[in-house]
Structure 1
Amino acid sequence: MNKFTKRILTFAIILVVVSMAFYPKLKSLRNEESAGSNARAESKDVAGTLTKTVSQTGPAVGAATPVEVMVIKANILNEKILTTGTIIPNEEVDVRSEIAGRVTGIYFREGDYVQQGAVLLRINDADLQAQLQKLNYNKKLAEDNEARQKRLLEKEAISRQEYEISQTNLNSIMADIENLKAQIAKTVLRAPFNGTIGLRYISNGSYISPTSRIATLTNTNPAKLDFSIPAKYASVVRKGSRIQFIVEGSDDPHTGTVYAVEPKVDPNTRTMLLRAVSPNPNQMLVPGAFARIELVLNARSNAIVVPTEAVVPEVTGQKVFVVRNHKVESVAVEIGTRTDRNVEIRKGLQQGDSLITSGIQMVKPGSEVAIKNIL
């Protein structure tokens, strides 16, 4: 073995020994680096998860909820019934003849306003007038005969029975005359009251009978209203109760007064029928029109009225939310009269309370709120 070969062998042995001495430390260092890399990756994942969670949950916990509140004040509350009814005329009648005959004259025009007693129509009465003339002749003869019989009776030339027969004959003729005059009067049709005459259904020369419809006479001032209310209000509504109403096709309000109440409840509908009267000088209330009616039962001046949406129903009743010291409190309430938009609070609230009217779904007792508007 030469000198160069010995040197290489010695160097290789030294290198092996050094490697065996430092191998454990190199392995430990490599494991520490690997662990640090994994920790950094896990930290990055956790940070990402937290960031995602925060972005999904929205604003930070404890932020005040924006709400609108209403300061409770006393109001005038009219307890009323909402119902519907129908306009009817003050008076209305179908003009018909009491006797049959031929029409000889029509003295009205369709749509005219006529006064009570005005002649509307005449029927041929020639035969009745002839009968009346004959009875008048018989009456004159009977009167002369009764006068003669009376003088004879005074002289005791005839019996009282004979005189009474002549007197009865005269009275019978006079009764026939009165009956015939009544028949003649029926040939003239007169307006029974002031009103407007409607459409005509006969012509001059027509033969009519008591069943023939001639026209309709209607009086609409004042107008009347028929409407019904639930039976539970039967003990409250009286004659003189005031109503307000509007008719279909107009927003102008009208007033009226109840003047008649049906004394019984309809067993089929469990309602009571009422009738009211309303001035109608301009003929704005047309019979047959539909009316929306408010019947005021009573009025209270110190009522607490809140919006319907501010009341939250519960199993045991109703509650509202109020703001006190910028925090929410739940208050149990007792409600009274309801309308289409508001509800009366009879117990639970006082004047000056701050009632939450919007954002109710976002609040809970004890939470803080930020008032954005005060009504």
Structure 2
Amino acid sequence: MSSSLKKIVTGVVIFVAVVLIAYPKVKPLFSEGEETASQQNSGAPLSVDAVMVEPTRVQDKIFSTGSILANEEVELRSEVSGKITDIYLDEGKMVDKNQLLIKINDSELQAQLQRAQYRLNLASERERRQQQLLEKGGISQEDYDATLNEVNVLKSEVQLIRAQIDKTEIRAPFRGRVGLKYVSDGSYISPTTRIASLQNINPVKLDFSVPERYVNRVRVGDDISFTVQGTEGAFDGEIYAIEPKIDSQTRTLQLRALSDNDEGLLVPGAFADIELILETIDDALMIPTISLIPELQGQKVYLFKNGSVAEQRVETGLRTAERVRIVDGIQPGDTVLTTGLLQVRQGMPVRINEIQSQ
């Protein structure tokens, strides 16, 4: 057998194989065309599906991602250096505002306070006596003023020592939950020593951003919905602060929201998938996207009226994955065709096979 004959035989075999594989897939197309042609030749109305337009509630949303933050968070550190004498905090427990958490040795300061107090008492007694002598002319005004000044200096010294003693007590700046502690009784600490963290996690904050094109649509008070991994269901929140400028690097606007965390399910640092609700429309007229037909002058749909097709120009608004809002051109109760859109024409009689619900 010559090489040319082999090529011809091989080509014929490949063609037959392709036809056998493709035939089951293209057969419905021919059948549909034959059915349409048959209906047209016989004069029977074309069977189509449609949807009844009804007002429905839709939300204009944008999607973003963000992080959960504690409402308040602080690293507990000491203002002074010294040895810890008492630890009153328990890891993972709640503490109240101003509750004593750590006590640092203040014995030296207490001794200084006691000495200063003795000196102040003595000076105050001397000042009282000299005031009596001054009234009788027993001493000069200058001598009395020197004694009074000494009393005032000693009072200031007592206040200074008490302020230093206050710094040996580490108290909770707000109500919250204590994290892991990194010190023990007897530890020597300084202002750089990490003691523990304190977090207020009810409510929690959410930091996220949106593209700059939404800068004029986002408002304080807008609602959000978000989910986090490891927790079922969605959580609600509300925007309470907006960054007053757009990030020039990412071209996004930074937002911050609050969400209640009564059950403690939301943990700071968690990743959140966020839906920002820009607008809620209670009576939107939505149709399937497939029903919308683009034209040079705009867009149109086919309506079913009195047994035949009627073209209707429309104006669109909000779009979702499968539906589009019609803001002008149709009314509640209209029947919009969803199939047969390439075959139907203005005034053509059709038969509704199925009316889909919204």
TM-score (norm 2): 0.79
Match of 1:172 among 142, 147, 153: 153
- In structure 1, stretches of 5+ residues that fail to align are 1-53
Matched-pair contact (CA < 8 Å) for 1:320–1:355:
yes
SS in 1 for 2:98: coil
Q: How does 1:69-108 map to 2 (within 5 A)?
A: 69-108=50-89
Q: Does 1:276 align with 2:257?
A: yes
Mapped partners of 2:237, 2:150: distance in 1? 60
Mapped partners of 1:66, 1:176: distance in 2? 99
Distance 1:249 1:310, change over 3 A: farther
Matched-pair contact (CA < 8 Å) for 2:247–2:253:
yes
Distance 1:251 1:62, change over 3 A: farther
After superposition, what is the alpha-carbon deviation per residue over 1:179-202, rounded to whole angstroms, capped at 9, x for unaligned? 111111111111122111001122
Match of 1:119 among 100, 110, 131: 100
2:6 is matched with which residue?
none
Q: Does 1:159 align with 2:159?
A: no
Q: How does 1:204-353 map to 2 (within 5 A)?
A: 204-314=185-295, 316-324=297-305, 327-353=308-334
Deviation at 1:250, TM superposition (A): 3.2
Q: Does 1:365 align with 2:345?
A: yes
Mapped partners of 1:206, 1:290: distance in 2? 36
Mapped partners of 1:306, 1:60: distance in 2? 25
Mapped partners of 2:38, 2:314: distance in 1? 28
Distance 1:182 1:359, change over 3 A: farther
Matched-pair contact (CA < 8 Å) for 2:231–2:265:
no
Mapped partners of 1:62, 1:326: distance in 2? 20
Mapped partners of 2:222, 2:82: distance in 1? 49
State, as a whole percentage, how many aligned pairs show the same letter: 44
After superposition, what is the alpha-carbon deviation per residue over 1:76-96, rounded to whole angstroms, capped at 9, x for unaligned? 233343333322212111111
Matched-pair contact (CA < 8 Å) for 1:243–1:294:
yes
Distance 1:274 1:59, change over 3 A: closer
Which amino acid is 2:345 matched to? Answer: P
Which amino acid is 1:157 matched to? Answer: G
Matched-pair contact (CA < 8 Å) for 2:36–2:46:
no
Moved more, 119-128 or 314-323: 314-323
Mapped partners of 2:269, 2:287: distance in 1? 38
Distance 1:212 1:276, change over 3 A: same
- In structure 2, stretches of 5+ residues that fail to align are 1-29, 40-44
Which amino acid is 1:155 matched to? Answer: K
SS in 2 for 1:220: strand
Mapped partners of 2:64, 2:159: distance in 1? 54
Which amino acid is 2:322 matched to? Answer: R
SS in 1 for 2:283: strand
Moved more, 145-154 or 188-197: 145-154
Matched-pair contact (CA < 8 Å) for 1:94–1:214:
yes
SS in 1 for 2:101: strand
Mapped partners of 1:136, 1:60: distance in 2? 108
After superposition, what is the alpha-carbon deviation per residue over 1:276-335, rounded to whole angstroms, capped at 9, x for unaligned? 222211011222223333333343333211223333445554333334455555543221
Deviation at 1:123, TM superposition (A): 0.9
1:131 is matched with which residue?
112
Q: Does 1:186 align with 2:130?
A: no
Distance 1:109 1:359, change over 3 A: farther
Matched-pair contact (CA < 8 Å) for 1:328–1:363:
no
